[in-house]
Amino acid sequence: MAEKPFTVLDLLDMELPGHNSLNLECIGGRKGLSKCITVPDINRPGLALSGFYECFAFSRVQLFGLEEAAFLKKLQSEKNYESLDKLFTYDIPCIVFTHDLYPDKDFLQRAENAHIAILKTSLDSTEFSIRALRVLSNIFAPKKTMHGVLVEVYGVGLLITGHSGVGKSECALELVERGHRLVADDIVEIRCVNGNSVLGQGANAFISHHMEIRGLGIINIAQLYGVGSIREQKEIQLVIKLSEWDDSKVYDRVGNKQEMTDILGVKVPVIEVPVKPGRNVPIIIEAAAMNERLKYKGLDSAKDFNQNILKWIESGEAQTAYYGSDDSY
């Protein structure tokens, strides 16, 4: 569910880029613009117009395409208003006509009386459905905020986490200096999309590309390094956990045990990188990003290393190297 009620007016007023624009216009039932949309889905009410209301998904946005509009005209020409009257007894959030179709005055009057907003779009039914489902899925996607820095390194979305003062922002700044891109600093808003991927972006669009560097203050990454150094959102594919070096702790030196963390029900790989003077953490993070890309291509360095070691032992070369070629058994 969305954090706050999402109304028909919110859908109508959304400023979306050209390839996502819904091209919506309100043509009637303006009293219904305050109604809430509670389901991220749409419904084509063909069966309902024919009189079958047993499984009518009235809580969804109702879509009238060419077929529904033609059937509506048929009902009106036959003066068969029974199913149409019943349609407006349901608490429908809104009705959308595609192909720039325009219902008659009688339909609009019914909508006005029922306080149901009537919208129209120039898009065809298929294209509108694709765009509307994408928009609604993003709006109603599960969300949370996390403390960290989200960057894109070699095309991989990295969420850098760690306690305050460990050097997350300084590390991200070095990565931007090396040609990578910043998505968000300090507070990252995360959404689960399609149940199998998590997208991160700045919690506040006005300050997401600003960065706080202790001793320096607030800097604007886009102004300092250009618009090519930022992006609006990115899928989180790897979590880098920065921690202070602990001499008593045994760190993974081979990498054959992949740890995972749960973010909104999605398992994301996590790597702990200990920080201490002399370690070039940005280079380590770059290597981690490239190694993650190799895993996507089916190449796992740690597994390949283990397999090569086993082959070396089985070949007998390991015993020869250890005992020497002249030793007898």
Mapping DSSP to helix (H, G, I), strand (E, B) and coil, where does residue 228 land? helix
**Known catalytic membership, residue 178:** no
Q: From CA 31, how far away is CA 115, in angstroms rounded?
A: 5
117-121/143-153 β-pairing: unpaired
Q: Is 31 a catalytic residue?
A: no
Nearest to 59 by CA among 36, 78, 82: 36
Mind giving me the DSSP string for 243-294?
A: EE--TTS---SS--S-EEEEETTEEEEEEEEEE-TT--HHHHHHHHHHHHHH
Which of 73, 74, 144, 147 is catalytic? The answer is 147
Q: Is 253 a catalytic residue?
A: yes
* CB contact at 8 A, 168 and 182: no
Cβ atoms of residues 118 and 26 within 8 Å: yes
State phi, psi for 323 to the nearest 5 degrees: -90, -25
Give CA–CA dist 233/96, Å, rounded: 30
Find the catalytic residue in 19, 253, 257, 297: 253
233 token code pair: 């959102």
Of 168, 180, 181, 241, catalytic = 168
The token pair at 51 is 């009189």
105 is catalytic: no
**Active-site position among 120, 186, 191, 234:** 186
Reduced to 3 states (helix: H, G, I; strand: E, B; else coil), residue 34 is helix
Strand order of the β-sheet with 233-235 is 233-235, 197-202, 181-193, 143-153, 156-161, 238-244, 266-275, 259-263
What does the alpha-carbon distance between residue 87 and residue 50 come to, in Å, rounded to a whole number?
Answer: 10
The residues that are catalytic are 147, 168, 186, 253
